[in-house]
Amino acid sequence: MSEPESGLPPQAPPGVVAKRSALADKVCRELARAGFPVHRSDLGDGPHGQPGAKVYATRHVDGGVYVDWNTDAELSTAALDLFAEGIDYSNPPPVVRHHNTVVKTMQDALVGILASAGFQVEVPDGHTHGSLVRVTGSQP
């Protein structure tokens, strides 16, 4: 597959995208069964920044199915505003530490719940992927 002129990553074949979408739907069902608010962000499901589990299936060749946790805007905005002002990363303000703790705790919970439900999950490199959880498959 050739690199597109737009500079965007090459797109996966339609069959691969369809399999990812079906896997993302299964992930949504299991997280909802566990009691989480969940939405498919790649389908425009729910308002942007809605709190809860955000599931999306990427369309590019090297992509996959990812899950992330969105805190309520009140917490995320408070933390981001402080980042914009500049913080001491060795001793961040309490709201930043709290936001980071919530996101990390929810990442651990998502991994545990999805693995328990039979999904193959991994935590990709945090530097590149932040707090995302990658779902690579499920048991038949």
3 domain-assigned: no
Amino acid 94 reads: P
Asked whether residue 41 is domain-assigned, the answer is yes
What's the CA gap between 22 and 85, in Å, rounded? 42
State how far the Cα of 31 lies from the Cα of 15, in Å rounded to an integer. 25
In the chain, which residues have pLDDT < 70? 1-6, 45-48, 140
Please report whether residue 1 resides in a domain: no
Classify residue 7: in a domain, yes or no.
Answer: no
Domain count, the chain: 1
**CA distance linking residue 114 with residue 128, whole number of Å:** 22
Please give the order of strands across the beta sheet that includes 133-138.
38-40, 52-57, 65-70, 133-138, 119-122
- DSSP classification of residue 48: T
The predicted structure's pLDDT at residue 127? 74
This prediction's pTM: 0.86
Residue 62 lies in a domain: yes
pLDDT tens-place string over residues 88-111: 888 889 999 999 999 999 999 999
So what's the pLDDT on residue 5? 59
